[in-house]
């Protein structure tokens, strides 16, 4: 029987900002410390749990609510649930926060300029040129969190490891995980 108290660690930020990378580093460290961990990555969830949803506001809200619901169940059952999804709308993130007692929001912040510069697929440039419609942060809104527990600056000011260390330090300070 596990005596771990669950929590949800919610990574939000634009496409390519580093949510998946940082959440993977954090999840590996949490597992190393003996915690039960599940990662719900937005891209993976869309191929399984949210297959068939498009990118309208309604479909995006449904996708994020589904991720939030799974995180709620996992954390209620003693798991460190990690959600890593763009989750562009503040209202839906706040709704999920309101349902999960132990919720930590991590804003993975990176400028459009830096994201465009390092985008190997060229999606940001295509969106900026009007070739891709409804691209979050360019032609569709992204509402940054107003009071996240952690802000990771992935524009070159921090390495992914430094960002992960900030997240882990916050979880330790909140006493959600044991200090090393």
The catalytic residues are 87
Instruction: State how far the Cα of 8 lies from the Cα of 28, in Å rounded to an integer.
Output: 15
Three-state SS sequence of 87-114? CCCHHHHHHHHHHCCCEEEEEEECCHHH
> 146: how many CB neighbours lie within 10 A of its CB?
9
DSSP assigned state of 136: B
Instruction: State how far the Cα of 161 lies from the Cα of 144, in Å rounded to an integer.
Output: 22
| Alpha-carbon torsion (170, 173, 176, 180), positive or negative | positive
Phi, psi dihedral angles at 172 (to 5 degrees):
-65, -45
């Amino acid at each position: 029987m596990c005596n771990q108290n669950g929590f949800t660690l919610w990574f939000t930020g634009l496409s390519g900002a580093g949510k998946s990378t940082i959440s993977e580093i954090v999840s590996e460290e949490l597992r190393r410390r003996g915690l039960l961990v599940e990662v719900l990555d937005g891209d993976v969830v869309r191929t399984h749990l949210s297959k068939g949803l498009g990118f309208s506001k309604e479909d995006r809200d449904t996708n994020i609510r589904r991720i939030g619901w799974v995180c709620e169940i996992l954390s209620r059952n003693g798991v460190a649930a990690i959600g890593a999804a763009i989750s562009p709308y503040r209202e839906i993130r706040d709704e999920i926060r309101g349902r999960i007692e132990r919720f930590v929001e991590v804003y993975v912040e990176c400028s459009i300029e830096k994201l465009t510069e390092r985008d190997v697929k060229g999606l940001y440039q295509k969106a900026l040129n009007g070739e891709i419609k409804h691209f979050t942060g360019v032609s569709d809104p992204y509402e940054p969190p107003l009071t996240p527990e952690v802000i990771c600056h992935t524009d070159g000011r921090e390495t992914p490891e430094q960002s992960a260390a900030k997240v882990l330090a916050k979880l330790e300070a909140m006493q959600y995980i044991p200090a090393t």
